[in-house]
């Protein structure tokens, strides 16, 4: 691991606690950074929120039929897209 000194811009190798060039304290700087951002956390995987149709049982039959058709198409399209992504992954690997 290399650390670039924020003070003198010299790269220090290994696991240094201080800059080899100017003696800048990396550990104190990291601690200071953590203190200034107490709520910082690594971003997790993105959440995909697909706008799926909600089937309402109180809808009239033709609305339900229409929604079911759109719903079925959405499922097919998503399955297809998923399959494409899966194939693209294996081609890339």
Q: Note the residues at the interface with Zn ion (CB under 5 A).
A: 5, 7-8, 19, 21-22, 24
Nearest distance in Å: CB 10, Zn ion: 5
Nearest distance in Å: CB 7, Zn ion: 5
- The angle subtended at Cα 75 by Cα 70 and Cα 81, nearest 5°, is 120
Helix, strand, coil proportions of the chain in percent (round to 5)? 45, 10, 45
Q: Pick the closer one to Zn ion by CB: 7 or 67.
A: 7
Whole-number Å distance between alpha carbons of 93 and 90: 5
Nearest distance in Å: CB 46, Zn ion: 37
Q: Pick the closer one to Zn ion by CB: 32 or 68.
A: 32
């Amino acid at each position: 691991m290399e650390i670039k000194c924020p003070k003198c811009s010299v790269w220090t190798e290994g696991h240094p606690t201080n800059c080899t060039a100017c003696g800048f304290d990396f550990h104190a700087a990291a601690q200071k950074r953590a203190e200034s951002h107490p709520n910082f956390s690594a971003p997790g995987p993105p959440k995909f929120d697909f706008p799926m149709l909600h089937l309402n049982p109180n809808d009239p039959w033709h609305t339900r039929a229409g929604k079911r058709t759109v719903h079925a198409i959405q499922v097919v399209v998503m399955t297809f897209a998923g399959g494409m992504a899966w194939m693209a992954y294996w081609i890339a690997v």
